[in-house]
A and B are shown apart, each in its own frame.
Chain A
């Protein structure tokens, strides 16, 4: 009962926040300004890629993507190190 009330209250608050955010958002035809303008206008000439998101990911902000790739590498290495040890031990003792 208590959990349902908390859940409903959270959903209600999120709904109000969402509606408020859409109400306060600038209209769609306002100029972008800042770095978004540069991305929008110069990507095709400077990068040659027509997918602007891919161009941002792998050209303008390729350094961020390097970090993302490193996170994946670290996750894979951690899972491999921990669970391979577990599998080896299970093979040696024969206990599943």
Chain B
């Protein structure tokens, strides 16, 4: 009993220092939808306007990381490591599968099929659009997973345990 109380006090001490003031927390909470929409826009319009999968994925990671900076480590406990790992690997596989589609269609590896559509509309560019989406998901999941594991290793106390309350 005494041990759990001591542990909780120590945990709260390490994490209260990471939490920012009310102003920062409110601004980050208000900006979160804007950053998320901007990241998704960068990914999905990567073949039309400046941006792309890598940049959009990093914007999505930046949204989560700004939330961590404002709220402390506690906010990161709800992100599942296994699903992010799975998304990363599925993204890498999907890139290869899309490359193989060109091979099965009778041309070379990673050929851009279906590159019709009027230039400038969202559904144009063929595989450029699809590969942007895949790389965006992959970069977001992979980088977020790396940062989550690094931050878990840096935490004092017991970062793997969820708060019961």
The interface of chain A, by Cβ under 8 A from chain B, is: 44, 46-51, 53-55, 57-59, 62-63, 65-66, 68-70, 72-73, 75-76, 79-80, 83-84, 86-87, 91, 96
Inter-chain pairs besides A47-B112, A58-B127, A96-B158, 15 sampled, C-beta below 8 Å: A47-B125, A48-B124, A48-B128, A49-B128, A49-B129, A50-B48, A51-B48, A53-B52, A54-B51, A55-B47, A59-B126, A72-B88, A73-B88, A76-B143, A80-B146
Q: Which of B53, B96, B110, B138 has the most CB of A within 10 A?
A: B110
Query: Taking the nearest CB of chain A, how far is it from the CB of B60, in angstroms?
Result: 14
Query: Taking the nearest CB of chain B, how far is it from the CB of A63, in angstroms?
Result: 6
The interface of chain B, by Cβ under 8 A from chain A, is: 46-54, 85, 88-89, 91-92, 95-96, 99, 109-110, 112, 115-117, 119-120, 124-129, 131-132, 135, 138-139, 142-143, 145-146, 149-150, 152-153, 156-160
Tell me if A50 and B52 are in contact (CB < 8 A). Answer: no
How far, in whole Å, are A79 and B53 apart by their CA atoms in the complex? 22
Tell me if A51 and B47 are in contact (CB < 8 A). Answer: yes
Tell me if B115 and A47 are in contact (CB < 8 A). Answer: yes
How far, in whole Å, are A50 and B119 apart by their CA atoms in the complex? 6
Tell me if B47 and A54 are in contact (CB < 8 A). Answer: yes
Known contacts A49-B47, A51-B49: A96-B156 contact under CB 8 Å? yes
**A-B pairs with CB below 8 Å: how many?**
123
How far, in whole Å, are A50 and B88 apart by their CA atoms in the complex? 28
How far, in whole Å, are A50 and B125 apart by their CA atoms in the complex? 8
Which B residues are in CB contact (< 8 Å) with A63? 109-110
Q: Which of B127, B138, B149, B153 contacts A59 (CB 8 A)?
A: B127
Tell me if A76 and B112 are in contact (CB < 8 A). Answer: no
Which B residues are in CB contact (< 8 Å) with A54? 46-47, 51-52, 125, 128, 132
Tell me if B124 and A49 are in contact (CB < 8 A). Answer: yes
Tell me if B153 and A83 are in contact (CB < 8 A). Answer: yes
Which A residues are in CB contact (< 8 Å) with B152? 83, 87
Q: Which of A62, A83, A87 contacts B99 (CB 8 A)?
A: A62
Which A residues are in CB contact (< 8 Å) with B145? 76, 79-80
Which B residues are in CB contact (< 8 Å) with A73? 88-89, 92, 138, 142
